[in-house]
Amino acid sequence: MTSLAAFGAAGLLALAGWRIGWLTPGGAAAGWLIGGTVFWRAGPVGAVLLGTFFISANLLGNLRARGGRKRTAATRDARQVLANGTWAALGTLILPAAPALGWATFAGALNAAQADTWATELGIARSATARLITSGRPVPAGTSGAVTLAGTLGGVSGAILLSGIAFSLGLSLSLASGALLGGIAGMLADSLLGATAQGRFYCEVCQAISERRRHLCGRTGRWEGGLRWLDNDGVNFLATAVGAATAVAWARLW
């Protein structure tokens, strides 16, 4: 796929995401950059895999909202898009020089984002309570670092889906299985980082703990624990890196 066609197609998809309400203007711009890079370097296979993640993640979020479960944000902004897609896009950039390394990085990172998103959306939609991955203490579903059976099974299912599509489109068994392991590893890393390192801020207006310094009401929260600089987007960025590294390690061991 030529660069012009790739970025043109990505622009249309990003525009559609903005018009539907899935992306903010900044999120659409970031999506155009990530999508154009993937479409250009990874071709139709990369486009199908990225499109599967993008569409399924937003459809699950809409289903959760229709079921009465409030989403943490109505649309995805640039930081969220870049946090989930940067490592996958970087993987495609090294494809000409190192195809196996590039595909492993791309598929592992993208599947980590897929598994974590499915786990979050299905966990909140199907469960009112969850348990912290570190201590097992009951907490409300959606709390950073918390897991549910429904969410975990959903995340694994999402990882299996994307890995299966990758294999059916021509990726080798070692790359597809590495992507599956990367997805699961990234999902677990996200929960562990969320429970131990992610910053927590108390909003006095909403009287709730938030993972973001600036709460949805617009008020800046008071720091309660964790690393001040590590928000949910930072955790997602690190979790997708874990997914990529896991897939690369598996491909080298295969």
pLDDT, tens digit, for every residue of 185-195? 999 999 999 99
Average pLDDT, the chain: 92
pLDDT of residue 217: 76
Cβ pair 190, 236 in contact under 8 A? yes
39-53 as b/e, with b when 16 or more CB fall inside 10 Å? bbbbeebbbbbbebb
Give residue 184's identity as a one-letter amino acid code.
I
pLDDT at 197 over 60: yes
CA 96-100-104 angle, to 5 degrees, is: 110
pLDDT of residue 126: 82
Please count the helices (runs of H) and the strands (runs of E) in the chain. Answer: 7, 6
Confidence of residue 74 (pLDDT cuts 50, 70, 90): low
Q: What are the residues facing 200 on neighbouring strands?
A: 225
Higher pLDDT, 78 or 224: 78
Q: What are the residues facing 223 on neighbouring strands?
A: 201
pLDDT of residue 222: 85
pLDDT of residue 32: 98
In terms of DSSP H, where are the helices of 21-98? Answer: 25-66, 78-93
d(CA 91, CA 143) in angstroms, rounded, equals 31
- Mean per-residue pLDDT, 165-171: 98
Cβ pair 175, 240 in contact under 8 A? no
3-class secondary-structure state, position 96: coil
pLDDT at 250 over 90: yes
Per residue in 3-20, pLDDT tens?
A: 999 999 999 999 999 999
pLDDT of residue 61: 83
The listed range with the strongest mean pLDDT (20-29, 136-145, 209-218) is: 20-29
Give residue 206's identity as a one-letter amino acid code.
C
Q: Roughly how many angstroms between the first and final C-alpha of the chain, as a whole number?
A: 30
Give residue 182's identity as a one-letter amino acid code.
G
Above pLDDT 70, what percent of the chain?
A: 95
pLDDT of residue 70: 52
Residues 6+ apart with CB under 8 A from 216: 72, 73, 206, 210
Cβ pair 151, 130 in contact under 8 A? yes
pLDDT of residue 21: 93
Per residue in 198-249, pLDDT tens?
A: 998 888 878 777 777 777 677 788 888 889 899 999 999 999 999 999 999 9
Q: Give me 50's structure tokens.
A: 């990225």
pLDDT of residue 85: 98
DSSP secondary structure code for residue 137 in this structure: -
Higher pLDDT, 139 or 219: 139
Q: Is the dihedral of CA 184, 186, 189, 191 positive or negative?
A: negative
d(CA 168, CA 151) in angstroms, rounded, equals 26
Residue with token string 């993008």:
54
pLDDT of residue 67: 53
